[in-house]
Each structure stands twice: as structure tokens, then as C-alpha cells.
Amino acid sequence: MSKLNTLTIAEARDALRKGDVTALELTEACLSAIDGAGALNAFVHKTPELAIERAKAADARLKAGDAPAMCGIPIGIKDLFCTEHVPSQAASRILGGFQPEYESTVSAQLRDAGAVMLGKLNMDEFAMGSSNETSCYGNAVNPWRRGDDATPLTPGGSSGGSAAAVAADLCLGATGTDTGGSIRQPAAFTGTVGIKPTYGRCSRWGIIAFASSLDQAGPMTRTVHDAAIMLGAMCGHDPRDSTSADIAVPDFEAALSGDIRGKKIGIPREYRMDGMPGAIEKLWSEGTEMLRDAGAEIIDIALPHTKYALPAYYVIAPAEASSNLARYDGVRYGHRAKLGPGDGITEMYEKTRAEGFGPEVQRRVMIGTYVLSAGFYDAYYNRARKVRALIKRDFEQVFAQGVDAILTPATPSAAFGLGDMADADPVRMYLNDVFTVTVNLAGLPGIALPAGLDEQGLPLGLQLIGQPWNEADLLNTAHVLEKAAGFVSKPAQWW
């Protein structure tokens, strides 16, 4: 058998059930891979003792024949998820030392299904970023390089640690969260698969909030099949999240029939951007042909408000963030600034937040404060919410024409160098989300999967967007595209 940490979730599950391998062996293989991968800075809080303990418990369950699909599967958890008595700080100094007394619903469901948490994964601070460079732990590094060029590349963001860990075989799967593209963009940058389900599919309870109307958790894995298995364990209604949908969760894995004959796939003309790299344009048309060859019908579609998605997002997300992050005040948890003589409570708030939040988080909190302030609320915030309604209507009209899924590039470029954007204005970094952010604004499911390499040998991803609550169908289409693309490349190990 190949190195255990390189197995897919599906392979590992089958081997565990057959008794060919134990959860403990799998876990130990991952723990040693993690120990050898310090240079990637993916795992930022390791929990080896807990992992060994859970692996042994999983082996006992497997022996007893009580083993859900994720039982004994070693995974990483993004630092945005609160995990009981394990540091959970959203990669922010302001939550330094915070050890929750509770477990997020999604990570609890995975735990209860027998999954083995190996530790917490690096990310952009409060999930605000597209390159994992705003983290208080330092950059996570992409295991992929441009050929022999040793320039360190970003794994994307905000779920950069999750993507790097899955791509480098440090774990079999990882949780991510996606507010504007934070699962799909890092998946595309690392040659992995990431799905953001329909808004309301996964409970947000216990996930540190960024923009509540946009945030969704999802799995990051090496294959679409694995995404189907892991997503099934993460979904479901939760009375603790009022936006969690009380809708039955289908068997996503069983939906992978491989048959998409007669499906209608939309190609949105507005996603053809000026200056898009040739490799991405080529990948997109090749992907279109693959779906056509598999029997799908290809239709040109229009999503006329696409251009306004990013500006609307950069009103709505910071507005919600400024409100959600008001709780970090130095009173109940996390960091409190040292106060000078005579400092009162206002100074405590202001100094704590200046010390605790990094520059990007400060910027977004202040933008959010501005667009919600008296006199600007209608001009910015309400207008953005109206544009959001129009963006959603664009998709509804396309789905009403019978379109089953929409194919787009996942990102406007391959992974870029860490530090490349250091001098760029903030808006340039925001452009990373141009193909993904519409999906969050409309609450739809979206999946990124690797479909090829660029001329420098870096992975490129395609995105499929599905109808609300139809992740099963979306995963099946992605499965067909994945098979047709035949992406099997792995990063050469340098770490």
C-alpha cells in the first residue's frame, strides 16, 4: 500500500473497514508528515495526543462495526472553528490564548462521526484575505512551486493552511470556510477540491463569524468523491443556527453516478475578462468540451450584474464584519492591552483592538463602520443589498431556463508569489475573488476542482456553480469533469 497519508478518504475508509489498516496507523503517518512539513506552516496548533486518543477510539468503533464513513479519517480543522479546549483564534492576535469551552457544530459532527482531528490550520486573520498573508502565525506556503524556481508561493486564502495541508498529504481532508471564495480559491491554487455548499447547509454555530450572511463551511479534499463523503458528515440542520436549513441531507456519494447526459451547462459570457491569462481561457474551453463530450448540453448564458458583485461584496462583508467583530473588546476573552495610568474603558477598547487586529482586519472594520454610519447607510449598504438581490436574480433567471450548472474559471490567475501583492492597493487583492464572490452573494453551492497545469507547472482550477440545495447534482457533474480532466499531478516534495 502507498504511504498511508497519501490515501484518499474513500480509499482509507475502505481499507479501515476491511481491516487492512488501522486509524492509529493512518494518524501516525499523518502526524509524521506534519512534523516533516514545518516549512509549509500549515498546522499552527498541533494536537497529536488528542489525535492518538481519537484514533484508538475510532479503531474500537471500527472493530465493533459501528463506523460512519469518516470514522478513523485524519483531518485538519481550520483555526476559524471553535474546538473544545484547543486554541481557536482565527489567526488573530486578539484571540491569543482563547481556548473555547465548546465545539463548533461542524467539527463536533466530524468528531462524532469518528474523524480524527490532527490540529488547527493556518488561515488569513478572521478569514480576511486571499493569500494567507494576514495571519498572525505568518504565511502558509504552497507546496507547489514554479518548476525548479524556489520562490515561495501563496496557497491562497483564506483557507490557505487547509489547502496546503491537503495538497501536501499532511491530512486526508480539512475543513474550510468560504465567505467570498476562501475555500475555492485556495483549492484552485493547490490542485485540490473545495466545495462551498448552499448557504444554510452547514451550521455556522461555533465558527468565528466574519460576514454572517455569506459565511459557509465546506470540505477541502483531494478528490470530488472525498468531498462528497466529507460534506455529508458536515451538513445538517442545527437548531443553534437560525439560518441553518431544516432540509434532509442526501447521500452525496451515492449521487456520483458519472452520468450527466442531457444536463444543461451554462457558460456565462461576463466571466470572460480582459487580460485573463491564456492558460485559464484554454482550460475553460477544454472543460466545456469535456462536459459536452460527456453528453451535457452547453448553453451560453448571461449574468449581467456580475461586474458589480465585487463592489457589492466589499460593502456587505465589511459591514457585517464591523458588527461581528465588535465583540472583541478585551473583556470576555482573548487579548487585553496593558493600560496606562488614567486609562478608562474607551482606551481599553481602542488600544486592545489596535494591538489585536492586523492591518487588513482594521481596514475592513473601518470600511464597514463607514458604510453603516449615519448618512451613508442608504448610499452604500442599502444600495449594495439591492445589487445583491439583482445578482441573485441573474442566477434565478438562468436556472429557470433549465440550466443545471454553470462552468467558470475558479481564479483569474495561478498561485502568485508570497509578498507579490505587498505594495498593491487593497482592491487588487480583492480581485482574486472575482469568479467566486457571486456565488456567496447568491447563496449558491460552488465547487472548485483541479483541471490542468499552466506553463509553469502550477495547478489551475475550474469552478462549477449549482442550483440551491442541489450539491448532489453539482458533485456528480464535478466528478465527471474531474475524471475527464484526469488531473493526477502532485507537487514535488521540497519541504
Partner 1 sequence: MSTIDLETARRVAKLARIAVPDENLPALADELSQIITFMEQLNEVDVDGVEPMTSVTPMRLKRRADRVTEGNMQDKILSNAPDAREGFFAVPKVVE
**How near is the Cβ of 180 to partner 1 at its closest, in Å?**
14
Strands 173-178 and 74-78: parallel
Kindly state the smallest distance separating residue 137's Cβ from partner 1, in Å: 19
* Pattern 379-408, partner 1, x by CB under 8 A: -x-xxxxxxxxx-x----------------
Tell me the backbone φ, ψ of residue 405, rounded to 5 degrees.
-155, 160
Instruction: Give the Å distances, CA to CA, from 395 to 266, 298, 478.
Output: 10, 16, 19
**Number of H helices and number of E strands within the chain?**
15, 11
Among the options 182, 244, 322, 413, which is catalytic? 182
Subset of 165-204 contacting partner 1 (CB under 8 A):
198-200
Instruction: Identify the H or E element spanning 408.
Output: strand 405-409
* Identity of the residue, 287 or 330, whose beta carbon is nearer to partner 1 in the bound complex: 330
Comparing CB distances to partner 1, the nearer of 18 and 332 is 332
Instruction: Determine the Cα–Cα distance for residues 490 and 493; give it in Å rounded to an integer.
Output: 9
Q: Examine the residue annotation and report whether 213 is marked as an active-site residue of this protein.
A: no
Member of 161, 445, 468, 491 binding partner 1 (CB under 8 A): 468
Residue 86 interacts with partner 1 (CB under 8 A): yes or no: no
**C-alpha–C-alpha distance, residues 5 and 249, integer Å:** 29
CB of 438 to partner 1, least distance (A): 12
Mutual orientation of helices 9-18 and 48-64 as an angle, nearest 10°? 50
CB of 275 to partner 1, least distance (A): 17
Q: What is the rounded distance in angstroms from the CA atom of residue 130 to the CA atom of residue 132?
A: 6
CA distance readout (Å), 223 to 5, 202, 283, 352, 354: 14, 20, 19, 43, 41
Q: CB–CB of 426/363 below 8 Å? A: yes
The yes-or-no answer on residue 162 being catalytic is no
Residues 244-263 that bind partner 1 (CB under 8 A): 245-246
- Under the binding rule (CB under 8 A), the answer on residue 213 touching partner 1 is yes
Which residue in 369, 397, 456, 489 binds partner 1 (CB under 8 A)?
369
Nearest to 368 by CA among 214, 233, 182: 214
Tell me whether residue 278 or residue 344 sits nearer to partner 1 (CB atom).
344
Q: Provide the minimum distance between the beta carbon of 228 and partner 1 in the complex, in angstroms, as a whole number.
A: 22
| 325-354 residues near partner 1, rule: CB under 8 A | 326, 329-336, 339, 343-351, 353-354
Catalytic: 182?
Answer: yes
Which three cell numbers, joined as nine digits, stand for 161? Answer: 493552511
Stretch 403-442: interaction string toward partner 1, x if CB under 8 A: ----------------------xxx--x----------xx
Residue whose CB is less far from partner 1, 243 or 489: 243
CA 465 to CA 378: how far, in whole Å? 31
Q: Of 349 and 495, which CB lies nearer to partner 1 in the complex structure?
A: 349
CB-nearer residue toward partner 1: 22 or 89: 89
Give catalytic residues, as residue numbers.
78, 158, 182
